[in-house]
Amino acid sequence: MTTTREPAIERRELLLRAYLAYNAQDAGRLLTLVTDDVDWPDGAGGRMHGRLALAAYWTEQWSRVRTHDHPVAFQELDDGRVAVDVEQVVRSLDGVTVSTGAFLHLHRVEAGRIARMDIQGAAPVRP
């Protein structure tokens, strides 16, 4: 069985739009970029499924901190996923830096939307 996927540039552009929406805390725009049954990490070792769960998670997270994920490199993997090297800064609501780190986000894109995201290689820069 042959599977087709969007060209690399289209996946990269989709992911760039997702990071921009996330950093702007624009859940409405961000949710249009994920599949209805999206599979996403919850940051505590578990998984969330579906747009409603993701919207609730982001809303709660953004009520406590301001996270900025800066994608610095994209790589197409043999299994069809896109690996994104991310530099992250987390700030308190009053702007104080809580943490910085470097992460590898692994995205699976299906039919022009993000279907799954995983996080690997968390490497905090400083506490």
**Residue 2: inside a domain:** no
* Residue 47 predicted with pLDDT over 80: yes
Higher per-residue confidence, 62 vs 5: 62
Q: Considering its fold, how many domains does the chain have in total? A: 1
Mean pLDDT of 86-112: 95
CA dihedral 65, 121, 44, 99 (to 10 degrees): -30
Record the pTM: 0.88
Mean pLDDT of 104-111: 95
Q: What is the domain-level CATH number for residue 96?
A: 3.10.450.50
**Residue 51: inside a domain:** yes
What contacts 113, CB < 8 A, 6 or more positions away? 14, 33, 34, 35, 38
- CA dihedral sign, ordered 15, 111, 55, 82: negative
**Residue 24: inside a domain:** yes
The pLDDT of residue 3 is 46
* Residue 122 predicted with pLDDT over 60: no
Mean pLDDT of 23-44: 95
Query: Which region, left, alpha or beta, applies to residue 29 given φ > 0 means left and ψ of -120 to 50 means alpha?
Result: alpha
